[in-house]
Structure 1
Amino acid sequence: MSSLTQTPGPLLTATQKFPTVLWNDSSDLDELRQSISFGGVGATCNPVIAYTTISKHPDIWAPRIKAIAEGNPTWTESQIGWQAVKDMSVEAAKLLEPAFAEHQGRNGRLSMQTDPRYYRDAQALSDQAVEFSELAPNIVVKVPATATGIEAIEDATYRGVSMNVTVSFSVPQAVRSAEAIERGLKRREAEGLDVSTMGPVVTIMVGRLDDWMKSVVARDGIYLDPSALEWAGVAAFKKAYGIFRERGFRSRLLSAAFRNVLQWSEFQGGDVVVSPPFAWQKIINASDYEPTARMDEPVDPHYIEQLRRIPDFNRAYDEDGMTPEEFISFGPTAKTLRQFLGADEQLDQLVRDLLTPAP
């Protein structure tokens, strides 16, 4: 039987049954084309993804990076690398234009991440968000959920940028970010500016919250049912979803940083974005799982009780568990920011090796 006549897999079935949408956690064009065939209507790029994609396709990107350098002889390695990221993002965004038109701006988005080196400068983050949003009509721009980032998120939203809040792992980060987007949208509306095609999302990196809980339990010798540790991110996401619906936030939640299939299956039926890496999409789509609506199913109270033994889970799960000033020192935030900063350094090194090879 040809692939054109096969029964749709679980990913496509889910997108047909539920308002839950699929975005690909990569801007690799080959992966994105396949994800679109699975029902995908969005994609993302960040420093780690960009570096990985360029490294994976040196035959494509090495000559392109050299051409960028030749055309801009005074540019730094960072400027050259970031131009490659911009080019990659614009090309991925082009593949999503049909979905963007079909969904009137709510989907069909390509997420671009602001330079992590700007994480202390709200104005620089907002200005770069505006720059990136003008590269293609269907760009949504990532800014981290720190106190500085939240300031930038409100300002960029007011300036007409559809935001994707990132480096976000907790209910307090998600709620404060959604509130900032609402303030930005209301400021636009008060001035008669259009918001009808804006498509903001607020990410919770569910798997990275799980990772942090596991590291804290190991570090501090906390005794609990280990199966509960697979549910921390799911629990935070579902808690935030209830708050978003109750308060009528116009942002949608986005689940990212997959570590297990619960981080897809438990969110089906919700009006949310689920963004698995392509490798996870292949695993899910090759399975015989029948998607069912589970977003409104609460996490087993036993798991919540077990997770409550971890102080950092309470900080992540309770709406008032952290202040915005505390976000940047929360373990997953610090680790992820450092990873993104490191990926920028790796991209600089990659450009250096191409332009000035070691003798």
Structure 2
Amino acid sequence: EEMTYRGVSINATVSFSATQAIAVGEAVERGLKRREAEGLDNSEINPVCTIMVGRLDDWLREIAEKKNISVDPCALHYAGIACVKKAYNVYNERGYKTKMLSAAYRTPLQWLEFIGGDMIMTIPYKNQVPFNGSDFEIKARMDNEVDPYYIKELRKIPDFIKAYDEMSVEEFDTFGPVNKTLDQFAGGYDDLVKIIRKFMI
């Protein structure tokens, strides 16, 4: 909210859920309204909210295995997709200015299911090449709902309920995928420092 109020086009990146993305959209709107109230121009502000679809799927698969939760394995490919589609629909219904962005691809579904959506997809090169060479049918699927059976299966995992249905802002920082991703990012930085150190000593 504060960054938007100050005229910054944000990209909320450490996000894995519909609940986080909707909170981002709401915060941006509050910032925009504060600017409007002061007569400030919002035309150059273009906010983005990322959902790391594959990382949510990875996390739920890991949790299901650790806690011996039996879930249809096909459903686990649709958790991130379901969250993006839910947040996308809320953004459109409420007229939020923030644009959805999907990241952290794992399967072609995370591209195919978003075709036709007014959103951003940051598809890594290693995924782009096989996608471009595939014979998948290219048709709009963004408005297709995720199979309710898959949603029912995924709700067996408490963290999916947080991601899809309800999670407080206070819980965001302790949400499993957030902690795991930040730890991985920090580890990547540590690895970079080690590489640089080799050239220094």
TM-score norm. by structure 1 comes to 0.54
Which residue number corresponds to residue 304 of structure 1? 151
Query: Which of 319, 330, 337 is residue 175 of structure 2 equivalent to?
Result: 330
Quick one: distance in 2 between partners of 1:195 and 1:348?
Answer: 40
Q: Deviations over 1:241-277 (max 9, x none)?
A: 1111111110011110001011111011111111111
Quick one: distance in 2 between partners of 1:171 and 1:267?
Answer: 15
Which residue number corresponds to residue 192 of structure 2? 347
Stretches of 4+ moved more than 4 A in 1?
none
Does residue 158 of the first structure (1) align with residue 5 of the second (2)?
A: yes
Quick one: distance in 2 between partners of 1:347 and 1:194?
Answer: 41
Please tell me the residue identity of whatever aligns with 2:164.
Y
Which residue number corresponds to residue 110 of structure 2? 263
Q: Residues 204-353 of structure 1: matches in 2 within 5 Å?
A: 204-318=51-165, 321-353=166-198
Q: CA deviation at 1:158?
A: 1.4
Quick one: distance in 1 between partners of 2:40 and 2:125?
Answer: 37
Q: CA deviation at 1:334?
A: 0.4
Quick one: distance in 1 between partners of 2:32 and 2:191?
Answer: 36
Highest RCO, 1 vs 2 (Cα 8 Å, sep ≥ 6): 2
Which residue number corresponds to residue 21 of structure 1? none
- Number of residue equivalences: 201
Q: Which runs of 5+ in 2 are unaligned?
A: none
Please tell me the residue identity of whatever aligns with 1:279.
K
The DSSP-based 3-state class of the residue aligned with 2:128 is helix
Which residue number corresponds to residue 181 of structure 1? 28
Identity, % of aligned positions: 55
Quick one: distance in 2 between partners of 1:350 and 1:244?
Answer: 42
Quick one: distance in 1 between partners of 2:88 and 2:148?
Answer: 17
Q: Which has the larger radius of gyration?
A: 1
Quick one: distance in 2 between partners of 1:200 and 1:346?
Answer: 31
Which residue number corresponds to residue 82 of structure 1? none
Please tell me the residue identity of whatever aligns with 2:179.
A
Please tell me the residue identity of whatever aligns with 1:247.
R
Q: Which runs of 5+ in 1 are unaligned?
A: 1-153
Q: Deviations over 1:156-186 (max 9, x none)?
A: 1111111111110111110111111111122
